[in-house]
Amino acid sequence: MSGESVMNAASGKRVGWIGLGKMGTPMAANLLAAGHPVMVYNRSAARTEALAGKGAAVAPSVPALARDCAVVISMVSDDLALQSVTLDAGGLFEAASPGMVFIDMSTVSPILSERVAAAAQAKGVHYLRAPVSGSTTTAAAGTLTILASGPKDTYDRCLPLLQAMGKKLYYLGPAEQARYLKVVINMMAGVTAAMLGEALALGERGGLEWAQMIEVINNSVVGSPLLAYKADMLTKRNFAPMFTAAQMAKDFDLALEAGRNTNVPMPLAAVSRQFLGAMIASGRGELDFFAYVAMLEELAGLGPAGSQE
């Protein structure tokens, strides 16, 4: 597909969107706001209503969407969901025409992504991996960080679409580089929460005042953008989910699977995944993954903000 024809598809013919969850809905809305005609599909049809009210067309099925769109973007929950909408019977590739561009923005395993790449190549589909880093807030604002890999010419031609959803865009290579970097970043975020949980529990036990301890750590040599982003949550002890412990556990599974397949030892990730499992088992799975802090307090025999139970 020529650069001009992809641009025509992006600006004239509909852009297909599969998956309208917490992230997918605002991302697709930003495409509409940027003037791109969008057709949406979601397994739960009720979730299409909000975007239909903003001008999106609604596809009755994935194959119907594939037949009407030259560019299709997906943002789905996990490997099984991506396999279902691409490789399985009734999936995208069953109806895709040669030259279609397929951009997947989900967080999935490099192994499944390799299978999707092989199927795309067999169908003559241009496949771009473009997972995102950010939250529902940054998704709504169109300021996500987008990590992309796949054919460089496809990436270049699809920049207007990606720029409607993200502020920082990185092209990382021709294959699964974006998948690996996404799980690396999430793994590091999860290990940070585990480390912080232990540190704050120790500080509490030592008599430190809770809010002051967080402020000083945040402004010390170990401060980070992640900690700054979570500082208010920690100070107020409000663990309403920006990214749940259950979601983080899924991403640790992806990272550990990638480590096994590439013979990279990951002991810190393995231990952190066990504690994420404990969060889920103790009823904290739908809290933000930084609620790890509260679990460590409980294990240390501490109540909230330093009180002893």
Asked if residues 146 and 214 have their Cβ atoms less than 8 Å apart, the reply is no
Residue type for 247, please? Q
Q: How many CA atoms lie within 13 A of 119 on its CB side?
A: 20
Return phi, psi of residue 103, to 5°: -115, 115
The CA distance from 273 to 253, in Å, is 8
Written as six digits, the tokens of 137 are 């807030």
Structure tokens at 234: 């920690």
Between the alpha carbon of residue 259 and those of residues 152, 262, 267, the distances in Å are 26, 5, 10
Instruction: Quote the CA–CA distance of 21 and 1 in Å, as a whole number.
Output: 30
* Residues 250, 261: Cα–Cα separation, whole Å: 17
Residue with tokens 């169908």: 123
**Torsion, CA 139, CA 197, CA 185, CA 216, rounded to 10:** 80
Contact yes or no for 47/72 (Cβ under 8 A): no
Tell me if 144 sits within 8 A of 27, measured CB to CB.
yes
**Which one of 22, 182, 230, 236 is the catalytic residue?**
182
- Identify whether 22 is a catalytic site residue: no
Residues that are catalytic: 182
